[in-house]
Amino acid sequence: MFKIYNHQALLGFSHFSKIGPQKIIKLEKYFGSPAKAFWASALELERAGINSPLINEFTKWRANFNPETVEASLKQEQIEYITYNNILYPSILKEIAAPPYIIYYRGNVKLLSAINYQSLAVVGSRKHSAYGEKIISNLLPAVIENRIMIISGLALGIDALAHKIALGCNGATIAVLGSGLDRASIYPPANRSLAAQIINSGNLLISEFPPLTPPLKQNFPQRNRIISGLCQATLVIEADLKSGSLITANYALEQNREVLAIPGNIFSDYSCGTNNLLKLGAKTITEASDILEIFDIETAVASSKKRGPKEKILFSSEPEKVIYQIISRAHERGEKISIDEIINLSKLDTSVINSTLTILELRGVAKYDGIGYDIN
């Protein structure tokens, strides 16, 4: 038996995955410190409420645990850690039912203590629609400009878009992972370059799971409580009825945090979950000022409310009006429209459509990006 400090004891417990946050809270209350709990005898652990098979497994495992060896391996992967008694540990996270007792990190750890309730969780479908992409691209920049930190889970789809927009707007962002932070374990692999961008731009990756932890299915609901726990509000962009985003929203409710949702097409699977959240009382979000109100940012809200009506477009011909309306309706759905669809919907001659589209582009009211037409 060697001397072990409290933070090293928590590091040890973290590597023994069968003793989770709730058991750690229980052990610390019983023994008075993590270090005492770590080296407690089998009898003492049993009196503290740990069952015999788990005690036997733990005592055999801890005999081979060396904190200095583990800390050296963390350094090799440029991973560091803090425990819940560290001054940098965010106070907002201590308010949840079972806060992580250890946080591994790569990047700017000072962001954790800078959260101070000015943070927004952004979650949604991994397979988002054009509508979801349009929503997030329109809403988040104004939120980020008002110094609200964006927190998400580095997943494909909405999560990745949220991080990218934060980086593009020079905002602060934290990615919370459901796997280890070593390069081989960062999940999903497709977002490893995004993870590197987050670190290199002075932002942060965190996880409560030690290095080499694979992205096990059960890790993600556990991870989601941290995403919502770090934030004053959770915004759900798109989600079906079985989406993990709804787990994050449920955690936010349990944690007495705001749940925000974007209304969507009632016929779209992507919107079933968000529309159901709205039925259950989530705050409806249709513009950035709705989010800013949550954070009592009055100046931004006031300026958004003062926006005047959009300038009316005057058409010089009926085909211009018809084609613009077709493109506009697609735009409202968050979609681009192909020339074949315009031909089918307008019933106009192809030559008339081509010349009219050219006129609308020259006037600057419509644009073509190689895929489809949209309005400016």
pLDDT (tens digit per residue) in 58-115: 999 999 999 999 999 999 999 999 999 898 999 999 999 899 999 999 999 999 987 7
pLDDT in tens, 125-149: 988 888 889 899 999 999 999 999 9
The CATH number of the domain covering residues in 318-375: 1.10.10.10
Contacts of 44 (CB under 8 A, 6+ apart): 31
**Residue 117: pLDDT band with limits 50, 70, 90:** low
Assess whether pLDDT exceeds 70 at residue 303.
Answer: no
- Report yes or no: 143 and 288 within 8 Å, Cβ to Cβ: yes
pLDDT of residue 376: 78
Q: What is the mean pLDDT of residues 144-168?
A: 95
pLDDT of residue 94: 92
- Report yes or no: 356 and 319 within 8 Å, Cβ to Cβ: yes
Assess whether pLDDT exceeds 60 at residue 304.
Answer: no
% of the chain beyond a pLDDT of 70 = 95
Assess whether pLDDT exceeds 80 at residue 311.
Answer: no
The three-class DSSP label of residue 208 is coil
**Residue 179: pLDDT band with limits 50, 70, 90:** very high
pLDDT of residue 305: 46
pLDDT of residue 358: 84
Closest listed residue to residue 50, CA positions, set 37, 34, 62, 61: 37
Both tokens of residue 331?
């735009």
**Residue 158: pLDDT band with limits 50, 70, 90:** very high
Both tokens of residue 251?
């955690």
Q: Provide the residue type at 69 as one letter.
A: T
Quick one: residue 147, left, alpha or beta (phi over 0 = left, psi -120 to 50 = alpha)? left
Q: Is domain 102-305 given the CATH code 3.40.50.720 in the classification?
A: no
DSSP one-letter code for 191: G
pLDDT in tens, 212-259: 999 999 999 999 999 999 999 999 999 888 888 999 999 999 999 999
Q: What's the CA gap between 259 and 35, in Å, rounded?
A: 38
pLDDT in tens, 180-223: 999 999 999 999 999 999 999 999 999 999 999 999 999 999 99
Domain boundaries, the chain: 6-73, 102-305, 318-375
pLDDT of residue 364: 83
Please provide the average confidence, as pLDDT, over all residues in the chain: 90
pLDDT of residue 116: 60
Assess whether pLDDT exceeds 90 at residue 306.
Answer: no
pLDDT of residue 73: 94
pLDDT of residue 1: 63
315 vs 174 pLDDT, higher one: 174
Assess whether pLDDT exceeds 80 at residue 316.
Answer: no
Q: What is the mean pLDDT of residues 257-281?
A: 91
pLDDT of residue 104: 98
% of the chain beyond a pLDDT of 90 = 68
pLDDT of residue 297: 85
The residues with which 375 forms a beta bridge, in sequence order, are 366
CA distances from 360 to 101, 103, 276, 343, 365 (A): 59, 54, 39, 16, 6
pLDDT in tens, 277-288: 999 999 999 999
Instruction: State if pTM tops 0.75.
Output: yes
What are the residue ranges of helices labelled H in the chain?
Answer: 6-15, 21-31, 34-38, 42-47, 52-62, 67-76, 110-113, 130-145, 158-168, 192-200, 219-229, 244-254, 269-279, 288-294, 298-305, 318-332, 339-346, 350-363
